[in-house]
Chain A
Amino acid sequence: MSFDGWIVMLLSVGGTTAFFFWCIRRVLGPPDSTDKIHGVLDTELEIEEEERKRRREGRGN
Chain B
Amino acid sequence: MSKQSPENWSSKIGVILAVTGSAVGLGNFLRFPGLAAKYDGGAFMIPYFIALLLIGLPLAWAEWAMGRYGGTRGFHSAPGIFRVLWKNPAAPYLGVLGLIVPVVIYMYYVFIESWCLGYAWHYLTGALDLGRDPEAYKTFFGNYVGIGADASIFSNIFGAPLIFLVICIALNFILINRGLTRGIELFCLWAMPALAVCAVLVLIRVLTLGTPDPSKPELNVLNGLGQMWNLDAGNKSLWEQLANGKMWMEAAGQIFFSLSVGFGVIITYASYMRRNDDIALSSTTAVAGNEFFEVSLGGMITVPAAFVFLGAAGAVGGTFALGFNTLPLVFEQMLFGRVIGFLWFFLLFLAAITSSISMLQPAVAFLQEGLGLNRGRAVALLCGVGTLGTLLIVWFSKDLAAMDTLDFWVGTFCIYILACAQTFIFGWIFGTKRGLEELDRGADIRIPRLFAFVIKYISPVYLLIVFVAWAWQDVGSRLDDFSESAAVRWSLLFLAVAVSLFIFCIRFAVRHWDRQEEQARRPSDREVVIRPTVNNEALDRLVSNPPQSLLSANRWILTPFYLVCASVALIWFAAMIFIGESPLLSALAIFGVGFFVVSFFILHFLVNKMMAGANWSRIVFIVLDVWGLLGVPASLFYGFVAIRMLPTSVGLPLFLLSAATFLIPIVRLHFLCRQDTGNWFTRVRLLRESQIMDTTS
Contacts and interface: CB of A to CB of B under 8 A. Distances in A.
B442 A24 contact: no
Interface of B: 12-13, 16, 41-42, 45, 49, 222-223, 225-226, 228-232, 276, 278, 281-282, 284-285, 288-289, 291-292, 294-296, 299-300, 440-446
Interface in A7-28: 8-9, 12-13, 16-17, 19-20, 22-24, 26-28
B359 to A, nearest CB: 24
Contacts of A6: 229
Contact of A17 (B292, B441, B446): B292
Nearest to B289: A20
B41 A39 contact: no
Q: Which of A5, A6, A22, A27 has the most CB of B within 10 A?
A: A5
- What 9 A-B pairs are tightest by C-beta distance, nearest first? A1-B226, A5-B230, A8-B42, A23-B285, A20-B292, A9-B229, A20-B288, A39-B442, A4-B231
A4 B231 CA distance: 6
Contact of B276 (A9, A31, A39): A39
Given A12-B229, A20-B288, A20-B291, A38 B300 contact: no
Contacts of B228: 9
A20 B440 CA distance: 21
Given A9-B228, A23-B289, 14 more contacts: A2-B232, A5-B225, A9-B229, A12-B229, A12-B295, A16-B291, A17-B296, A19-B292, A27-B285, A28-B13, A36-B442, A39-B276, A39-B441, A43-B276
A5 B45 contact: no
A39 B292 contact: no
Contact of B42 (A4, A42, A43): A4
A32 interface: yes
Contacts of B231: 2, 4-5, 8
B292 A26 contact: no
A57 interface: no
A17 to B, nearest CB: 5
Contact of A27 (B12, B49, B230, B232): B12
Contact of A13 (B16, B232, B285, B299): B299
A10 to B, nearest CB: 9
A16 B446 contact: no
Given A1-B225, A8-B229, A8-B231, A35 B299 contact: no
A39 B282 CA distance: 15
Contacts of A12: 45, 49, 229, 295, 299
18 contacts: A1-B225, A1-B230, A2-B230, A2-B232, A4-B231, A4-B232, A5-B225, A5-B229, A5-B230, A9-B228, A16-B294, A17-B292, A20-B288, A20-B292, A27-B282, A35-B445, A38-B446, A42-B440
Contacts of B446: 35, 38
A13 B300 contact: yes
Contacts of A27: 12-13, 16, 281-282, 285, 444
A43 B440 CA distance: 12
A42 B295 contact: no
Given A1-B229, A4-B232, A16-B295, A26 B445 contact: yes
Most B CB contacts (10 A, CB to CB) among A12, A22, A26, A43 go to A12
A29 to B, nearest CB: 10
Contacts of B232: 2, 4
Contacts of B300: 13
Given A4-B42, A8-B42, A39-B276, A13 B444 contact: no
B443 A16 contact: no
A32 B232 CA distance: 44
A20 to B, nearest CB: 4
A19 B230 contact: no
B546 to A, nearest CB: 39
Contacts of B45: 8, 12
A26 B282 CA distance: 10
Nearest to B45: A12
A26 B296 CA distance: 20
A14 B357 CA distance: 31
A24 B13 CA distance: 9
A3 B288 CA distance: 26
Given A17-B296, A20-B291, A38-B440, A5 B226 contact: yes
B445 A4 contact: no
B291 A39 contact: no
A31 B225 contact: no
A13 B292 CA distance: 8
Nearest to B295: A16
Contacts of B284: 23
Given A1-B229, A17-B296, A42 B441 contact: yes
A38 B300 CA distance: 40
A11 B278 CA distance: 29
A35 B41 CA distance: 39
A7 to B, nearest CB: 8
Nearest to B292: A20
Nearest to B230: A5
B281 A26 contact: yes
Contacts of B49: 12
A36 B12 CA distance: 16
A28 B17 CA distance: 13
Contacts of A26: 281, 285, 444-445
Contact of B230 (A4, A38, A42): A4
A16 B446 CA distance: 19
B42 A5 contact: yes
B196 to A, nearest CB: 11
B245 to A, nearest CB: 21
A35 B444 contact: yes
B399 to A, nearest CB: 35
Contacts of B229: 1, 5-6, 8-9, 12
* Residue among B13, B223, B230, B445 with max Cβ neighbours from chain A (10 Å): B230
Nearest to A39: B442
A8 B442 CA distance: 36
Contacts of B285: 20, 23-24, 26-27
A23 B288 CA distance: 7
A42 B300 CA distance: 44
A27 B277 CA distance: 12
Contacts of B16: 27
Contacts of B41: 5, 8
Contact of A19 (B13, B291, B294, B444): B291
A12 B441 CA distance: 32
B4 to A, nearest CB: 24
Nearest to B300: A13
Contacts of A8: 41-42, 45, 229-231
